[in-house]
Amino acid sequence: MKIRAGFSLTYECPQPTPMLLVLNIHPSRRIDLLTEQTLVFDRPIEAWGYIDGFGNACARIVAPAGLTTISTDFEIYDGGLPDVVPVDAVQHEIKDLPDDVLVFLLGSRYCDTDRLADFAWSTFHTTPPGWPRVKAILDFVHNHIAFDYMKADSTRSAHDGFLGRTGVCRDFAHLAITLCRCMNIPARYCTGYLGDIGVPADPNPMDFSAWFEVYLGGRWYTCDARHNHPRIGRILMATGRDATDVALTTSFGPNVLKGFEVTTYELPMEGVENA
């Protein structure tokens, strides 16, 4: 299937402000592009592209004083298959994990494993290791946190979400990642597009989505504690330890987000008429 996606973000800066941007799709998905996917600025701005330590395609700019709009619009091919459910995927012993996976066992800014380790072990130690243990964590987080679009909080950690029991998709991801890491399952944060494709339309405004991946059976598998069932049409933008590593923009100076719009929807295939 074909998906059209994009965004428009407007920032107001009182002075020239350096910014890091994680707004491109992930390099692993560029092969699926049907059109160009480039960042467009409504003012003359020089951008430097680079690949960060997690393999994400990023950019550096200095946003001038005043209003600056950053946007992109593209079409991409997607196989239309739901997320893989790895029912037989095994959990590795830590000694057998690849070196570059070990960092995803450690605590991080929003994944405070030290505060949830005792709870995790007392709750999940009797579950079979591997996918059954991940599924138990997914079910717990899905039922423990109530989604509330109006309760977004960029300072909320996994432990805060555990106690407050409310939040948005990033809070579901942070808590599930943290519990997985506590149980010695490598887990990494993901951000990207997830439109209402194959599911009823969400009445909340379209936004970027957060989910996570676990390392089982020698590869990474997609998990989504908020929805807790396989979805189709994900477009990965970036992965990292937590939301810090994949922030849409990191600004080195004051600024105000004045405009925010995200679009993601399925396009009809050529030669196929809608019923």
Residues of the chain with CATH 3.10.620.30: 94-240
Angle 51-95-52 from CA coordinates, rounded to 5°: 5
**Which CATH number describes the domain made up of 2-79+248-267?**
2.60.40.2250
pLDDT for 272 beyond 80: no
Q: Which fold is adopted by the domain 94-240?
A: C8orf32 fold (3.10.620)
**Chain segment 116-152, per-residue pLDDT in tens:** 999 999 999 999 999 999 999 999 999 999 999 888 8
Q: Which pLDDT tens digit goes with each residue over 234-249? A: 999 999 999 999 999 9
For the chain, where do the domains classified as CATH 2.60.40.2250 start and end? 2-79+248-267
Which pLDDT value is given to residue 274?
41
